[in-house]
Structure 1
Amino acid sequence: MIEIPEAFVLANQIDESLSGKIVDGVEVPANPGKFSFYLGDPLEYERLLIGSNFSSARAIGGMVEISIDKRRLVFSDGAVPRFYEKNETPQPKSQLTVRFGDGSFLSVYVRLYAGLWCFEEGDFDNKYYLAAQEKPSPLSDNFDENYFSKLFDFEKADSLSLKGFLATEQRIPGLGNGVLQDIAWTAGLHPRIKISKFSDADKERLFSSIKTVLRDMTENCGRDSEKDLFGIEGKYKTVIGRATFGKPCPRCGETIERQNYLGGKVYFCPSCQRLE
């Protein structure tokens, strides 16, 4: 799933790969997947995009936004974009293909669910898209200790767990259950620990962990559990997650465990990630 690191990696690769290209065609399947979410009639995408020039791409939280003249094409977290040169054979079951005048094309697949939204600039009121634009990314200097401390200033904050605080309600857009695992492990905090049990030192470590882990993931082309625009796995080796479940914790040697929690799985070391 696209989260903050992958969004930045994909946006940069799209920016480089599509530079100077003109849209020559748009294709959507006759029977799209039921979890492929379009904005309006996807057959209208061709009218919006054909003949337009690629302008730029950027990461917005866990989304990728492509500017094509004054139109926008936005992919949400479950989208899997792939770039192909002319005459390359794409994977089947693309939910959206954008073709360019030089024969290259961008195909977008869907894993679990995804938004594949195309619209005129300023003509999209999705609350997650708007929130992601309004809030600073942890990769930016604007996401500093002062900003982070203010995220705790709301009623009933103390009743939330670490996962509930970080990965729900778009408090930090694009920080989801995937990157959460290594952030919590690096901070030495259990995903289920209550905010009420945080010390000032815990908050400082958590802030530092968010900044450093997300930066490392981004600088290493994303997590090794995800793939980039060309189908290449990221180079950031995930410390704690599905691939390391049942193996020794690299910090203390205790066996990494897994639990179902808040609509997903959390992975943790029962020894060196504090719960109480």
Structure 2
Amino acid sequence: MIEIPEAIELSKQICENITGKEIINVTAAESPHKFAWYHGAPAGYHDLLSGKLMGTARGVGSMVEITAGDAVILFSEGVSLRFHGEGEKRPAKHQLMIEFEDFSALSASVQMYGGLFCFKAGDFDNKYYKIAREKPSPLSEQFNEEYFDGIISAPENAGLSAKALLAAEQRIPGLGNGVLQDVLFNSTIHPKRKVKSLGDSDREKLYKSLKNTLADMTFKGGRDTEKDLFGCYGGYKTILSKNTTGKPCPVCGELVKKEAYMGGSIYFCPGCQKN
């Protein structure tokens, strides 16, 4: 799934390899997917985008936003993006294919679920997109200790678990269940631990871990569980993920555990992260 580090890396790669190319053909919803979401009729994507130049891309929370003239192309967290050079094999099944004048292309395929939205700028009324655009990224200077304290000290959040606080309700757009695991590990906080039990030192550690872990993931091109625009895994080696379940913790040596929680999975070290 695309989260903050991957959204930034994909956007960077799009700017380096696709920006400035003219769109000549757009194919949408050719391979039906129950949980692929579009804006309006996907059959209208070609007329909306054809003839326009691909503009710049940026990460907006867990979304990748690309400008194209007066239009916007927006991919959400569950979409897999690939760049295809001239003559390179393209996927037989996809939910969106954008072809360019130099015979290269960008394909988008939905995994479990995902949004592939194309619209004229200002015409997309989506609360998740709006919130992600309005709230500061944890990588920004605006996301400082005072801002974070406003989240963690809100009375309505006292009874939440650490996972629920950070990765639910769009409190921090783009911070999902994937990057969450190492953020909590690096702060020695268990995913199920209640916010009201966190002392000042815990809160300080969590803030610093949030900023530093995300910065490290982004600097290294995303996590090693996710692929970039060319199908390569990110350079950040996850401490807690599907890749490390059952392996020794690099700090204390206890085996990394996986449990079902809040409709997903959590990974933790029972030695370093006490509940």
TM beyond 0.5: yes
* Alpha-carbon distance, 1:31 to partner: 4.3
- The answer for the alignment partner of 1:219 in structure 2 is 219
Matched, 1:36 2:33: no
State which drifts further: 1-10 or 150-159.
150-159
Map 1:1-276 → 2, pairs under 5 A: 1-275=1-275
Equivalent residues of 2:247, 2:255 under 8 A apart: yes
CA distance in 2, matches of 1:197, 1:72: 44
CA distance in 2, matches of 1:75, 1:51: 20
CA distance in 1, matches of 2:94, 2:31: 11
Question: Which amino acid is 2:163 matched to?
Answer: K
Give identity over the alignment, percent: 49
SS at match of 1:83: strand
* Alpha-carbon distance, 1:156 to partner: 2.4
CA distance in 2, matches of 1:22, 1:194: 51
CA distance in 2, matches of 1:76, 1:103: 25
* Alpha-carbon distance, 1:138 to partner: 0.8
Distance 1:31 1:82, change over 3 A: closer
CA distance in 2, matches of 1:122, 1:153: 34
SS at match of 1:214: helix
SS at match of 1:44: helix
SS at match of 1:97: strand
* Alpha-carbon distance, 1:211 to partner: 0.6
Equivalent residues of 2:72, 2:120 under 8 A apart: yes
SS at match of 1:55: coil
Instruction: Provide, for residues 108-142 of structure 1, a one-character-per-residue CA deviation record: whole Å limited to 9, x for no partner.
Output: 01110000000000111110000000001011111
* Alpha-carbon distance, 1:92 to partner: 2.4
SS at match of 2:215: helix
CA distance in 2, matches of 1:46, 1:155: 48
After TM superposition, the score normalised by the length of structure 2 is 0.98
SS at match of 1:242: coil
Equivalent residues of 2:99, 2:106 under 8 A apart: yes
User: Structure 2: where are the runs of 5+ without partners?
Assistant: none
Question: Which amino acid is 2:99 matched to?
Answer: R
User: Structure 1: where are the runs of 5+ without partners?
Assistant: none
Question: How many equivalent pairs are there?
Answer: 275
CA distance in 1, matches of 2:182, 2:111: 22
Distance 1:236 1:242, change over 3 A: same
CA distance in 2, matches of 1:77, 1:92: 22
SS at match of 1:146: helix
CA distance in 1, matches of 2:155, 2:197: 16
**Structure 1 runs, 4 residues or longer, greater than 3 Å off:** none
* Alpha-carbon distance, 1:153 to partner: 4.1
* Alpha-carbon distance, 1:29 to partner: 3.9
Question: Which amino acid is 1:70 matched to?
Answer: D
SS at match of 2:243: helix
Equivalent residues of 2:30, 2:95 under 8 A apart: no
CA distance in 2, matches of 1:227, 1:243: 14
* Alpha-carbon distance, 1:247 to partner: 1.2
Distance 1:31 1:111, change over 3 A: closer
Equivalent residues of 2:30, 2:96 under 8 A apart: no
CA distance in 1, matches of 2:214, 2:206: 12
* Alpha-carbon distance, 1:40 to partner: 1.0
CA distance in 2, matches of 1:43, 1:118: 11
CA distance in 2, matches of 1:29, 1:120: 19
Question: Which amino acid is 1:39 matched to?
Answer: H
